[in-house]
Amino acid sequence: MERKERADGQEDLEERLLSAWLRLSVQISNERVVTDMPFKEALVCNLLSKAPEGKLTATDLCEQTKTLKSQMNRVLGSMEEKGLIFRERSTVDKRQIDIRLNEEKSGLYRQEHNKNLRLVNAIIEKFGKEKTEGLLEELAYISDVIEEVLE
């Protein structure tokens, strides 16, 4: 579908924003923010490490990662085989399975997380604290807008 050129400069702005987004995406995916473990596994470890009481359900993880249940089950199966997580029946609701991070086996995740923190700290140093705070607000707003548009 061909778009008509707009006089208000919106088309140029759209193209520049899309180009910046793609450049950032390429940078992140090509430089592999997570190198020694699959991205989804690192993401699940991160969510579990920050979870209240240190546990989440597969449904919680699917919602937070926007991942299909079948895909999440494969990720969790792989993580369980590696000993990264435990699955245990909930004490509150016997139908529910809680997933916990195995702290004894989380060294690889912690190593990856620390590497990412060094990258983030370099960004904070370049931006400065105040500009970083502003960036956080803008990124949260962008995420909210994307969620709203995609619903």
> What are the extents of the domains in the chain?
35-150
pLDDT averaged over every residue in the chain: 88
Query: Does the pLDDT value for residue 75 go beyond 60?
Result: yes
Bridge partners for 86 per DSSP: 100
Residues 6+ apart with CB under 8 A from 71: 40
Query: Does the pLDDT value for residue 30 go beyond 80?
Result: no
Query: Does the pLDDT value for residue 129 go beyond 80?
Result: yes
Report how far residue 15's alpha carbon sits from residue 18's, in angstroms, rounded to the nearest whole number: 5
Q: What is the pLDDT of residue 5?
A: 60
Q: What is the pLDDT of residue 85?
A: 96
Query: In the chain, where do the E strands start and end?
Result: 55-56, 85-89, 97-101
pTM: predicted TM-score of the whole model, two decimal places: 0.78
Query: Does the pLDDT value for residue 139 go beyond 90?
Result: yes
Q: Between the CA of residue 2 and those of 5, 9, 121, 130, what are the distances in Å?
A: 9, 17, 43, 41
Mean pLDDT to the nearest integer, 70-79: 96
Q: What is the pLDDT of residue 34?
A: 67
Q: What is the pLDDT of residue 1?
A: 45
Residues 47 and 113 sit within 8 Å (Cβ to Cβ): no
Q: What is the pLDDT of residue 39?
A: 86
Q: Please, which contacts does 41-45 make with residues 24 or more away whose CB atoms are closer than 8 Å?
A: 41/75, 41/78, 41/79, 41/84, 41/109, 42/109, 42/112, 42/113, 44/75, 44/76, 44/79, 44/85, 44/99, 45/79, 45/84, 45/101, 45/106, 45/109, 45/113
Mean pLDDT to the nearest integer, 38-52: 92
Query: Does the pLDDT value for residue 71 go beyond 70?
Result: yes
Report how far residue 81's alpha carbon sits from residue 33's, in angstroms, rounded to the nearest whole number: 23
Q: What is the pLDDT of residue 7?
A: 61
Q: Which CATH class is domain 35-150?
A: mainly alpha
Binned at pLDDT 50, 70 and 90, residue 6 comes out as: low
Report how far residue 62's alpha carbon sits from residue 65's, in angstroms, rounded to the nearest whole number: 5
Q: What is the pLDDT of residue 35?
A: 72
Give the sheet arrangement for strand 97-101, strand by strand.
55-56, 97-101, 85-89
